[in-house]
Amino acid sequence: MRLLIIGTLGGQLTIASKIAMEKGASVTHADANEQALAVLRSGRGADLLMVDVALDIRDLVERLDAERIHVPIVACGVTNDARAAVRAIHAGAKEYIPLPPDPDLIAAVLSAVADDSRDMIYRDESMAKVVKLAQQIAASDASVLITGESGTGKEVLARFVHSRSNRAKKPFISVNCAAIPENLLESELFGHEKGAFTGALARRIGKFEEANGGTLLLDEISEMDVRLQAKLLRAIQERVIDRVGGARPVPVDIRILATSNRNLAEAVHAGTFREDLLFRLNVVNLKLPPLRERPSDIIELAQYFIKKYAQANGMPVRSLSAEARHALTVNRWPGNVRELENTLHRAVLLSTEAEIGVDAILSPDGARLDAVRGNDLAAQAAMAAEQITRNLVGRTVAEVERDLILETLRHCLGNRTHAANILGISIRTLRNKLNEYSHDGVPIPPPNGGELRGAA
């Protein structure tokens, strides 16, 4: 956690900085906005700004926006002046803290911004394998490609790897390649010199230099323009970067992590991603399974989110009713962990009974989750078939057919008759297919939803 304190407030901010350092934050001081901007441009960076409310916060916010520097601001004042607090928040501050500082309040603010809860929440065996591999390779400097559907927790896993690496005490810098316009991403990554282009008001250190000594996460790297990929490849291979408008290369010492929710091998075939860059990034691949393939994680994560949002909103921690647990476990979760988190956040806010009931487990449009998804086996199988057929390129017809049959059977709890009806084939054809798969060593879902076995 990197904290930049701007102003003095008669020494009260110095006291706040001591409290922050006791909580593990690294603290830098600046007297005013100009000095603060110099610190941020220099690459020392910050995860949070604590600013004297008497300074021109609106000017600071506007100058940060002009230079595309994104960091939350907390205003601080020596009185409980409501008007000063309102002015600061209207100017762009996220919060107002009265001084002298309360240690618990400082700790809460730091925790909320840093979100230092980096432990992976899991119980399912498929997720346990991914976490075990992540722990094995964390101490190395190998590049890691983290893949998985949107919402599966790719950035959380990246932070987990960093926190267990030899670079854990150095910066972890994340860049969302999909969120930054193509013509600005080069400057964001590599920095620029003053006057390199219109709006380059001063030298700006990019994310590569800001992450020096630590870890750089390139989030959704598949969205990066192929021309910029060539410059990225050089930076990874030679550990040097060129600032936009710069006259000489700048050495950097970083570890690269990257994420993608797309199939990069397909992107290579399509000509939108460089094969040599994929080889450089994919030294180790951590593939996060979607939540529907980690059923044991659903309730574990749900209980974690209930506790998190109950505490954040000053509400009692309620348990889930049996009906609510069932509604959660049978849902397909196309938005994965992110969707589950939002659903439980709503449930915590809406629940008034002793338990969180199924009436509080709602979809974003306010409908009950069990009414939207239901327990209808045919509907679940149809959704499973749709998911399987979304990504067909590079696979044989036989492979697609096998996965479709097995997934449909799985969601029919092993009922051969239901599965055959949904698939539009005879029960005899289905049994012949299952015997064929079993002979090849593929586990077959047995009748009545029992454990997978090797014969049909």
Is 2-114's fold the same as 125-287's?
Answer: yes
Ranges under pLDDT 50 in the chain: 116-117, 374-379, 381-384, 386-390, 450-456
Model-level pTM?
0.64
Kindly calculate the radius of gyration of the chain based on its CA atoms and give it in whole angstroms: 26
The predicted-structure confidence for 251-296, as pLDDT tens digits, reads as follows 999 999 999 999 999 999 999 999 999 999 999 999 999 999 998 8
211's tokens: 């992450």
Q: What is the pLDDT of residues 171-191, one digit of tens each?
A: 899 999 988 887 788 888 998
Q: How far apart are CA 230 and CA 308, in angstroms?
A: 42
Domain covering 125-287, topology:
Rossmann fold (3.40.50)
User: Could you give the CA distance from residue 405 to residue 420 in angstroms, rounded to a whole number?
Assistant: 9
- At CA 401, angle to CA 397 and CA 402, rounded to 5? 120
Q: Domain locations in the chain?
A: 2-114, 125-287, 291-373, 377-449
The CATH number of domain 2-114 is 3.40.50.2300: yes
Per-residue pLDDT, 454:
46
Question: Which CATH number does 291-373 carry?
Answer: 1.10.8.60
pLDDT at 314: 80
